[in-house]
Structure 1
Amino acid sequence: MKGFVLSTLATLAGATVLIGTQNASVVTASLTAAATTVSPKPTTLFPAETVQLTNEVLAAVSSNVRNANISDVFHFADPYTDSTLSKKNPRSCKVMPGDVSWPKNLLWNTLDTLLGKRLIKTVPLAAYCYPEWPEYDADKCANITSQWAVSNLHMYDPVSIMLPRYEGRTCMAPGYNYTKTCELGSYPTYVVNASTNTGHDFNGKSSGKGALSIWTHWFKDKAFYPQYKAANGYSLGVSVVGGEAVTVGLGGGHTAGGGHSPLSSMYGMAADQVLAMEVILANGRFITASSTENSDIFWMLRGGGGSTIGVVTSLIVKALPRLPTTTVTFNFTINDAPNVDAFWKGIEAYFVNFEDFINAGTYGYYYVGASATEIGTDDAGSTDYYFRMHSVVAPNMTIAETKALLAPWYNVLDSLNITYTPWYNHADNFHDSWAVALPQEYVGAAAVKTASRSPAPT
C-alpha cells in the first residue's frame, strides 16, 4: 500500500504535503524519470507498473520538503526486525474509527492528495434507502432495490459484496434487510480506487471493519506472450483457467485464494496456472515473484489468501489449448417429485455419481435451498425445497458424450418419477459455452452460503 501511495509522489510538483501538524511545501520538479524503471526480464510491465517508487525518489522528495523526512513518515521498505516486533503489544486492540489513535481527517486528506484524489470514504450501497444517511435518495433507492439481486450492481460499487451475510448484513436494500437500519458494519472505512480485475471478493473477505481497502476493479489490461518460457518451459494456447462467475476477475482474491474454475477438474485451480506475479509488498517494494525469484512469496500468493502479502498488480498465467465444451442446465423442486423422500434421493444420486463426473473432467455448480426467493426472513422455515444445477460444464465433450456420462444419474431421477428437463449447449470453444451457461448469478440474498467446490481428481 505504501508503495502505491508514494508512487504518486513521482508526478507531484508544487503540491502541498501536510506532515503531522506542519505544512511542508514540495517545490521540486517532476520526479517521473526517477520513478521509472526498466522492465524486469522475462516479464514486461504494463504502463501503470513502470511508475515505481525508489529510494532515489524518496530522497529527492525529502530534500524538497521542509522540516520533514518522507522516509521517516512512511517508513518505506523498513523490514520487520526483532526490535520492531518487540514493540508491538500483543494485548492491544485494533485501532477503530472513534479511537484516539485513529488517523485524523487531516491525515486522510493528505493521503487523498498523495493518491491523486483516489480515496473514497465508504458509504454502503443501500444507504440511499435510509433517511438517517445524508445520501438518502428515494429514486436511487428504488433502482438499487430493483437491481439488488443482480451481480453487476455490486461489482461496480467499491465496497459492496455479493453475499452480505459475510459482512454482517448491516445495510441491506428494503425487503432484503434483517435489521431495518443501515450501519457501516464490517465494510472498510476508506477505499483506494486503484483504477485498473473486478475488485470484489465473492464471499466478502475483502471487507473489514476499520480497514483501508484497495479497489482493483479497473485492473483489466492484458498481454499475450506467444513464446513465453517459464523455468520449466511450456507452450501457450488459447484458453485460460478463470472463474465461474462472470464478475470474477482472473487476478486478486480469486487466484490468491486458490481459484476454483469450470476447468479445475481438468487443469487444477487458478493458482496452479500462475507463472509469475508483479507485487507491491507491505513495505512498499515492487517485486517479481516466481518459482525462481522471491519463491517464498510466490508460494504464499498462490492460495494463501488475499490481502495478506501485498497488492498483486499483474500475473503471467498459462494459456491452454482451445476446448470444445458442452454445458447442461436443469432444476427440479419438491413439486416435481412425488414426495419429499424422492426429492432428496434424487439429490443423493448426484453425489453417488459425483466422483465419476469429476474424474471425467467435468464441473458442477448447483444450488440446494428451501425457498426460491431467499429474501429476508419471510421464508424462514420454508419447505419449498429446490435443486438447481446452475451448470454441468463438460470440457472437450460432445452433447452425446455428456448425456452418456450423466445417464446413471438421469436413470435414478426417472425411476423416482422426478420431472426435469435438461437444456444442453455446445460450442467449439470454452468461452462461448461458459458465457451461455453461467450468466450473472442471483446475489444479495442474506440467506445464501457457498460451500466447497468440485475438486480436481487425485
Structure 2
Amino acid sequence: MKAALLAIGVLAATTSANAKFCRCQPDQRCWPSDDSWARLNSSTDGNLVKVTPYALPCHDPTFNEAECTIAKTNSNSSSYRSSDPGALQWSNWEAWPEKDEQCYIETSKTTPCKQGRIPLFSVKAQEAKHIQEAVNFAAKHNLKLVIKNTGHDFVGRSSAPNSLQIFTHEMKEISILDDFVPTAPKNKRAPPGIKAVTLGAGVQLHEMYSYLGSRGLMVVGGTANTVGITGGYIQGGGHSLLGWLHGMASDNALEFHVVLADGSLVVANDYQNSDLFFALRGGGGGSFGVVVSATVKAHPDYPTVVATINYTTPIGAPYWDGVDALQKHILEINDKGGTGFYGLVPNTPISDSQTVSLMILSATFVNQTDTKAIEDLLAPVKSEIKDAIGLEPYFDVTALPSLSTYYSALLGENDTTGLQIRFASRLISRDLFKSGNHNKLTKAVSSLRYGPGDAIVGAIVAGGQVSENRDIESGLNPAWRDALVHVIAAHWMSPEMTFDQQKALEANITNVEVPLLKSLEPGKMGAYMNEADADETDFQESFWGDNYPRLREIKALRDPYDLFIVRKGVGSEDWDDSGLCRV
C-alpha cells in the first residue's frame, strides 16, 4: 500500500510546472480494468456496485414506469435517499453544472439523464476491512474518493464526478459501555471509566435516539432524522439542543476508529494519535480518513420543557418589529438554559393569491420541569411581540418526560429532502446581543432577498457549556465559544432553473448576503462549516479561524498525497472544485 501512495507522490512531485496533477478518469489508460474492479468486488465480499443517478429510471432511453413510480414516491424521503448510493439529500449536489450534467426527478423523461457528480462505483461497506480495501484501491489507481454516510450535506462533500464511493450506511452497530476506558499505550495511564456509547459509521440520529431513549440515555446529537452522527456532523463540531448542558458533539467525543490514507486502521484519542483526535473533533468530515466508529459520552435522557411562540402577519413592517422584539430576549432565554430554533419565513404562500409572513419559536429547556418558570420567563417576550405586531401570538409551554420523547414528536418518521437548497450563514456573538445590537441583526436579515418559502433559521445552540468548554483543544472553530446564535439564510432552487439562473442565486449569496452578515461583526466570528455558503470565499478563516494552520499540518502529515479531499475542506484550496485536479 505504501508503494501505491509513493507512486502517487512521485507522480505529483515530478509533474511539470505547466501541467496539472489529476485523478484518473474513465477515458484514460490508467483507469482500472474490469478485472481490477472484479478483484475489488471480491476483496470487499461482493459489496462493490455500479452507481447510477437516483432519477435514471424516469428518463429516456432507460425509462421504466414501475421503477420511476417508486423513485418519485420516495423522492422526498430522507430515509430512502440515505439508503441509495446514487442519491443525495439535496439534489443540486447530484448535478455537475460545469459539464451541464444533471438528472432530476422533476424534469421530463425526454431530458437526458447524465451521471453528474454521482460516483461511478460504490463499496457498500459492512466492516472496516471493506473500507481499507476501497482506500487502498483508490490510492493504487489514483481515483477520486468520496465518502457517503447519508448524503446529508449542504456543501457538496458527499459527491464528486467520476469517483469511487465508500458507503458507510449499513454500519449500524450501537454499544452502550458502562465503564469505557480509552485505549492507551502501555506507557500511558488512561482515566477511570465513564458511561459512553460507541456508534458505527452508519448510525443515523433517529436510530440512535430510539435506541438510547428506550434505555434512558442520550448523547449530544442534532435535530434531523437522517444525519449520520459519526460523519460530518460530529467531525464538523455538531451543534445540539443539549449543547447548553454538555457542549458541542465534538466536545463529547472520547475515541475514534479511523481508516487512514495508507489503509491502516488506527485508534485516535487523547492518548494515542492525538493529532488525529484533534482534527476529527471539528476539522471537518472526509478530510483526514474514514471514521469506522466513534465513542462519545453518554448522558441521561433528561426531562424537557418546550415553549412555542408563533405568529402570522401580512407582509410588511409589523412582522419585522415582532422579530426584533423576539431577538431582544434571546440572550435572556439562553442564560436560563433555553436552546432551540426560531424560523422566519417572510414570503409564505398560503394560496394562489395570498402570501403572509410567518415566525415560529421553539425553545427547549433540557433538564427542567417547571413550566410556570418558563411561562414567566417568556411572558415579556409574548407581550412585546403583541405590542409590536398588534396581534396576540400563539403561546404554549409543555413538559415532556424526556428529550427522546421530544425528538420523536419533532422529527416524526422522515425528513423532507430531495430538494435543492443553498445557504448563507454566520455565527453571531453573545456580545452583539449583550450590547443591545439585536436590531442590527434584524435589519440585516430583513434586507435579504426572499423567494417563496425562503427562510431564516436562528439556531440558539451555543452559550452555556459550549462557551465553558473553550479550554478543550480540538479543531473546532474557536468562534463557537463566543457565539450565541447560528443564523442561516436558506434559499430554495427550482429544478426548472437553468444552471445560469442557479449560478446567479449562488453569486448573490456569496457576494451580497454573506458579506452583509459578516459586516455585523467585522473581523470576528465565523461560519459553521456544515451549514454554510458552499462557495465561502475565505473558508479557512470562516470555518476554523486560528485552528486552520494546525489542521493543515495534520492533513499534510496524515494524508500527504491528498487522497481525502472534499469541497471547502482542509487542503481543498490546492484542488479544483470537484477535487479532480490540482490548481
Q: Hey, what's the Cα distance between the residues in 2 that align with 1:167 and 1:410?
A: 43
Cα distance change of structure 1 residues 339 and 255 upon mapping to structure 2, 3 Å threshold: closer
> Where does 1:48-447 land on structure 2 (aligned, <5 Å)?
74-75=1-2, 86-87=13-14, 91-132=20-61, 134=62, 136-168=63-95, 170-174=102-106, 181-195=112-126, 199-203=150-154, 204-230=156-182, 231-233=190-192, 235-236=194-195, 238-329=217-308, 331-332=310-311, 336-369=312-345, 384-389=356-361, 391-398=362-369, 399-415=371-387, 416-418=389-391, 420-422=393-395, 424-439=397-412, 440-447=414-421
User: Quick check: 1:262–1:363 contact (8 Å CA) kept in 2?
Assistant: yes
Corresponding residue for 2:500?
none
The Cα shift of 1:265 comes to: 2.6
The Cα shift of 1:400 comes to: 3.1
The Cα shift of 1:232 comes to: 4.8
For 1:357, what is the secondary structure of its paired residue?
helix
For structure 2, the residue ranges without an aligned partner over 5 or more in a row are 97-101, 128-147, 183-189, 197-216, 427-458, 468-583
Q: Hey, what's the Cα distance between the residues in 1 that align with 2:319 and 2:253?
A: 42
Q: Deviations over 1:110-163 (max 9, x none)?
A: 21222122112121112221123x3x3223323332332232221221232222
Q: Hey, what's the Cα distance between the residues in 1 that align with 2:29 and 2:21?
A: 13
Quick one: which amino acid aligns to residue 296 of structure 1? Answer: D
Q: Deviations over 1:261-320 (max 9, x none)?
A: 221232121111111111111101111110110100111111111111211111211112
Cα distance change of structure 1 residues 360 and 393 upon mapping to structure 2, 3 Å threshold: same
Q: Hey, what's the Cα distance between the residues in 2 that align with 1:384 and 1:109?
A: 57
Cα distance change of structure 1 residues 372 and 338 upon mapping to structure 2, 3 Å threshold: closer
For 2:55, what is the secondary structure of its paired residue?
helix
User: Quick check: 2:255–2:295 contact (8 Å CA) kept in 1?
Assistant: yes
Greater helix share, structure number:
2
For 2:255, what is the secondary structure of its paired residue?
strand
The Cα shift of 1:86 comes to: 2.5
Quick one: which amino acid aligns to residue 285 of structure 1? Answer: S
Cα distance change of structure 1 residues 219 and 360 upon mapping to structure 2, 3 Å threshold: farther
Q: Hey, what's the Cα distance between the residues in 2 that align with 1:354 and 1:193?
A: 44
Q: Hey, what's the Cα distance between the residues in 2 that align with 1:126 and 1:403?
A: 49
User: Quick check: 2:257–2:294 contact (8 Å CA) kept in 1?
Assistant: yes
Return the TM-score normalized by structure 1: 0.71
User: Quick check: 1:425–1:433 contact (8 Å CA) kept in 2?
Assistant: no
User: Quick check: 1:198–1:247 contact (8 Å CA) kept in 2?
Assistant: no
For 1:304, what is the secondary structure of its paired residue?
coil
For 1:101, what is the secondary structure of its paired residue?
coil
Quick one: which amino acid aligns to residue 105 of structure 2? Answer: A
The Cα shift of 1:431 comes to: 1.0
For 1:113, what is the secondary structure of its paired residue?
helix
Quick one: which amino acid aligns to residue 216 of structure 1? Answer: T
Q: Hey, what's the Cα distance between the residues in 1 that align with 2:191 and 2:11?
A: 39
For 2:324, what is the secondary structure of its paired residue?
helix
User: Quick check: 1:251–1:314 contact (8 Å CA) kept in 2?
Assistant: yes
Corresponding residue for 2:462?
456
Q: Hey, what's the Cα distance between the residues in 1 that align with 2:23 and 2:5?
A: 21
For 2:295, what is the secondary structure of its paired residue?
strand
Q: Hey, what's the Cα distance between the residues in 1 that align with 2:36 and 2:87?
A: 25
Q: Hey, what's the Cα distance between the residues in 1 that align with 2:85 and 2:399?
A: 36
Cα distance change of structure 1 residues 424 and 152 upon mapping to structure 2, 3 Å threshold: farther
The Cα shift of 1:321 comes to: 3.0
User: Quick check: 1:343–1:418 contact (8 Å CA) kept in 2?
Assistant: no
Quick one: which amino acid aligns to residue 397 of structure 1? Answer: Q
User: Quick check: 1:324–1:428 contact (8 Å CA) kept in 2?
Assistant: yes
For 1:251, what is the secondary structure of its paired residue?
helix
User: Quick check: 1:241–1:269 contact (8 Å CA) kept in 2?
Assistant: yes
User: Quick check: 2:240–2:461 contact (8 Å CA) kept in 1?
Assistant: no
Q: Hey, what's the Cα distance between the residues in 1 that align with 2:315 and 2:356?
A: 12
The Cα shift of 1:441 comes to: 2.8
Q: Deviations over 1:143-191 (max 9, x none)?
A: 332332232221221232222234448322227x9x9553221122222
Q: Hey, what's the Cα distance between the residues in 2 that align with 1:435 and 1:264?
A: 19
User: Quick check: 1:119–1:191 contact (8 Å CA) kept in 2?
Assistant: yes
Q: Hey, what's the Cα distance between the residues in 2 that align with 1:327 and 1:88?
A: 60
User: Quick check: 2:374–2:397 contact (8 Å CA) kept in 1?
Assistant: no
Q: Hey, what's the Cα distance between the residues in 2 that align with 1:152 and 1:232?
A: 39
Quick one: which amino acid aligns to residue 420 of structure 2? Answer: A
The Cα shift of 1:330 comes to: 5.8
| Structure index of larger Rg | 1
User: Quick check: 2:250–2:281 contact (8 Å CA) kept in 1?
Assistant: yes
Q: Hey, what's the Cα distance between the residues in 1 that align with 2:15 and 2:391?
A: 62
Corresponding residue for 1:58?
none
For 2:266, what is the secondary structure of its paired residue?
strand
Cα distance change of structure 1 residues 143 and 330 upon mapping to structure 2, 3 Å threshold: farther
CA RMSD of aligned residues (A): 3.4
Q: Hey, what's the Cα distance between the residues in 2 that align with 1:434 and 1:444?
A: 22
Cα distance change of structure 1 residues 419 and 432 upon mapping to structure 2, 3 Å threshold: same
The Cα shift of 1:220 comes to: 1.5
Q: Which moved more, 1:112-121 or 1:138-147?
A: 138-147
The Cα shift of 1:240 comes to: 0.8
Q: Which moved more, 1:75-84 or 1:343-352?
A: 75-84
Cα distance change of structure 1 residues 321 and 450 upon mapping to structure 2, 3 Å threshold: farther
User: Quick check: 2:256–2:291 contact (8 Å CA) kept in 1?
Assistant: yes
Cα distance change of structure 1 residues 160 and 449 upon mapping to structure 2, 3 Å threshold: farther
Cα distance change of structure 1 residues 300 and 345 upon mapping to structure 2, 3 Å threshold: same
Q: Deviations over 1:7-45 (max 9, x none)?
A: xxxxxxxxxxxxxxxxxxxxxxxxxxxxxxxxxxxxxxx
Cα distance change of structure 1 residues 150 and 369 upon mapping to structure 2, 3 Å threshold: farther
Greater strand share, structure number:
2
Q: Hey, what's the Cα distance between the residues in 2 that align with 1:150 and 1:102?
A: 35
User: Quick check: 1:328–1:437 contact (8 Å CA) kept in 2?
Assistant: no
Cα distance change of structure 1 residues 147 and 406 upon mapping to structure 2, 3 Å threshold: farther
